Structure 1
Amino acid sequence: MEGRCDERFAAVRAAFEENFRSRGELGAAVAVRLGGELVVDLWGGWADPGRTRRWERDTVVNVWSTTKGATALCAHLLADRGLLDLDAPVAAYWPEFAAAGKSGVLVRHLLSHRAGLAGLREPHSLADLYDWELTTARLAATEPWWEPGTRSGYHALTYGFLVGEVIRRISGRLPSAFLAEEIAGPLGIDFTIGLPEKAADRAALLVRAPAEAAVGAPLPAEPSPLFLAALANPLVGPDEANSAEWRAAELPAANGHATARAIAELYGIVAGRGAYDAEHRVLSPASAERIREGQGACRDLVLESGFRYETEIGLGLWLSGRTASYGPNPRAVGHDGAGGSCGLADPEADLSLGYAMNVMGYQIADDPRKMALIEAVYDSL
């Protein structure tokens, strides 16, 4: 292992090392900020399945849905500036969206996965997904799968287009540019939506875990049409995410590339109640608090088989709640990425965590590697 770890958090180093010994880790990094200070910054292993490139301090990797936290921050920054009303109809900013009975869908429904648009009903190819105008036009024209606002259903890929188009309509910029120019760039946070060509040589390659790792994974035996629309239209995995086309696309729900340190820094804005550190404030405390404004616990309509308990989504991030997905504080929030990556923010502890890896596990959420790291962090406090 390389990097640094405060002695107080020695248990995190031990858990990270155990991930390599017994939990199938190939290459990974973990970072923890406490009170705005970096107290854990560890990395190790290999950036490629052939074990020819070491995982370095600046290695980035596709973090899948951990990207959603960054996209939500962009929306909340617009709201903080008075440019976006989270209680306004989406159609107030995106008039075409009112089609097919969606005139009453609110911006908060997009942020909390309650818009009923978890997936498209018509076949949507990878090439279609890479076409921003086509994908947003199809979402604007389609009808919801359920009554918007009543239940949550995980918007795995559509989230980025829905929230992202509102960001674009207001700011004139796609989420990748908005994030770079308004948050990540000014603060020096190594988190991008998509991957610039100049950074390609430091990107880790994703790889699927061995088939035996799928045993006991909480996936439905008979996927519903909604599940398939949300998670398999189109179906994407490591091969797609390693491609130049995926890296070049605008996918604000799924193709963020970051170091673990950058994830901890970005989610640290929420943990710091809007402040990045003592000198830099991104959001007002009230706006930062809104991110974790619960919208009602329920069995998620898409991921209902993936959790033992009901879950609750705030306005952009998931509450730790009864599942303790983000530690023992039920008011802590975070977001997992497919295969295991994670960002966590706990304002009560002024704590944030970032975890990134290249071996993708089979859990829908709460990968054992991530959970071992979170348990070690809280045991260290």
Structure 2
Amino acid sequence: MEITGTVRPGFEGVRDVFADVLAGGRAGAAFTVVRHGEVLVDLWGGLADPERGEPWRENTLCVLFSGTKGVVAAVVAALGVLDADAEVRAYWPGFTEGVRVHHVLAHTAGLPYVDADHDLLDSHACAVLLATQAPLWTPGTRVAYHALTYGYLVGELLRRTTGRTPGELVAEVLARPHALDVYLGTPAGLDERVARLVRAPGYRISTFLDDPERRRIVERMYAGLLDSDELMNSARYRRAGLAAGGATGTARSMATLYDLLAAGRIASPRALARATRTWSEGLDAINDRPVHFGLGFELPDPLGTYGPAAAAFGHSGAGGGRHGAWPGAGLGFSFVTNELRAENADGRADRLLAALHDAL
């Protein structure tokens, strides 16, 4: 597949790996690296819509899935309106006692799914249901990824403390001030720029999990979102503004976002240090995957999710997206793709980050 874009001298090896990544797929992707405001790598190619043969363009938007969590974590760190040690009920009267803000942000709240009939795209209604739902464990004693409920909970906390939706805050705090092509609640006028999502053969979630009982919990967590091509490609999904997985963006803007974060231009150095220190770590109690979280950000794990760098933070997304920063190198990176692959069969971002590390 044809590759478009540029690399700075010395980063040709990254371009070679990107070419190989595209050649092994049936859709499209983009990979960007930004260091201190300078674009070192900016590549894209393949098909934004395999059904219609539409090529991936410089301004193609892609659903970020859980890459959205990192965007929302950046908003939380920038605003500083939530005390991580406070009980959720301090901001949200009537919420279950004993759940602290950091339990929500670091996936230890014990509320990984909505235990009632619900519309997964109605964030406020889901938040109301979660407010009185009994946690599966004593908050803080176990860590397990809150795939969708992270967004319902954090989004409601932001709404109650700022009077604005997460989508409005992404625009006001991040996108407009820094000219980022990132949206939480994608406007109708941008629909033609959004890549069509496709699932690779054999795609599935929670590839580390074999236990059938916990597999049923995972199915409740995702509520069928990743099982439906129609739903995840729908305008209704993109408009819903899901703070856990509904944003769209370009690789260039996501890499720029993390470059700005690493440079202390979005959140203060003190706030960023607090958000990117360890708040939870261990084997996911539901998924059997090693995890490591700050306040909304993923941190380096035994799987090498964030590459060879000793220090990193960011957030991955279902199907292969990877977005983050290497503070030691002073850079941000982003890999976006519309071809969803199972984690145990997807080495695309790993290879790109290894090539980037070699180039540095």
TM-score under structure 2 length normalisation:
0.94
Pairing 1:26-41 to 2, within 5 Å after superposition: 26-41=27-42
Count of residue correspondences? 357
| Cα distance per residue 1:99-128 (max 9 Å; x no partner) | xxx32211111110111111122243xxx1
Pairing 1:60-209 to 2, within 5 Å after superposition: 60-79=61-80, 83-97=81-95, 102-124=96-118, 128-209=119-200
Q: Which residue of 1 aligns with 2:9?
A: 7
Q: Which residue of 1 aligns with 2:325?
A: 345
SS at 1:355 equivalent:
strand
Give the deviation of 1:358 after TM superposition.
0.8
- Return the alpha-carbon distance in structure 2 between the equivalents of residues 21 and 233 of structure 1: 30
Q: Which residue of 2 aligns with 1:279?
A: none
Give the deviation of 1:328 after TM superposition.
2.0
SS at 1:95 equivalent:
coil
**Does the CA-based 8 Å contact 1:26-1:46 persist in structure 2?**
yes
**Does the CA-based 8 Å contact 1:47-1:53 persist in structure 2?**
yes
Give the deviation of 1:248 after TM superposition.
1.3
Letter in 1 for 2:286: V
Q: Which residue of 1 aligns with 2:358?
A: 379
| Cα distance per residue 1:219-267 (max 9 Å; x no partner) | 4352414323323366654321111211111201111100111111122
- Return the alpha-carbon distance in structure 1 between the equivalents of residues 209 and 309 of structure 2: 27
Choose the corresponding residue for 2:298, options 318, 340, 350: 318
- Return the alpha-carbon distance in structure 2 between the equivalents of residues 215 and 205 of structure 1: 19
Pairing 1:264-343 to 2, within 5 Å after superposition: 264-272=255-263, 274-275=264-265, 282-304=266-288, 307=289, 310-343=290-323
Q: Which residue of 1 aligns with 2:59?
A: 58
Choose the corresponding residue for 1:359, options 314, 327, 339: 339
Are 1:222 and 2:220 counterparts? no
**Does the CA-based 8 Å contact 1:246-1:255 persist in structure 2?**
yes
Letter in 2 for 1:336: S
**Does the CA-based 8 Å contact 1:324-1:330 persist in structure 2?**
no
Cα distance change on mapping 1:234 and 1:326 into 2, 3 Å? closer
- Return the alpha-carbon distance in structure 2 between the equivalents of residues 165 and 190 of structure 1: 24
- Return the alpha-carbon distance in structure 1 between the equivalents of residues 349 and 115 of structure 2: 33
Give the deviation of 1:185 after TM superposition.
1.1
**Does the CA-based 8 Å contact 2:208-2:287 persist in structure 1?**
no
CA RMSD of aligned residues (A): 2.0
- Return the alpha-carbon distance in structure 2 between the equivalents of residues 40 and 320 of structure 1: 22
Are 1:259 and 2:261 counterparts? no
Letter in 2 for 1:353: F
Q: Which residue of 1 aligns with 2:201?
A: 210
**Does the CA-based 8 Å contact 1:36-1:350 persist in structure 2?**
no
Give the deviation of 1:374 after TM superposition.
0.8
- Return the alpha-carbon distance in structure 1 between the equivalents of residues 185 and 352 of structure 2: 27
**Does the CA-based 8 Å contact 1:45-1:54 persist in structure 2?**
yes
SS at 1:318 equivalent:
coil
| Unpaired runs of at least 5, structure 2 | none
- Return the alpha-carbon distance in structure 2 between the equivalents of residues 373 and 270 of structure 1: 21
Q: Which deviates the most, 171-180 or 26-35?
A: 26-35
SS at 1:96 equivalent:
coil
| Cα distance per residue 1:297-332 (max 9 Å; x no partner) | 21111321xx4xx33111111111332210223431
**Does the CA-based 8 Å contact 2:205-2:343 persist in structure 1?**
no
- Return the alpha-carbon distance in structure 2 between the equivalents of residues 123 and 216 of structure 1: 23
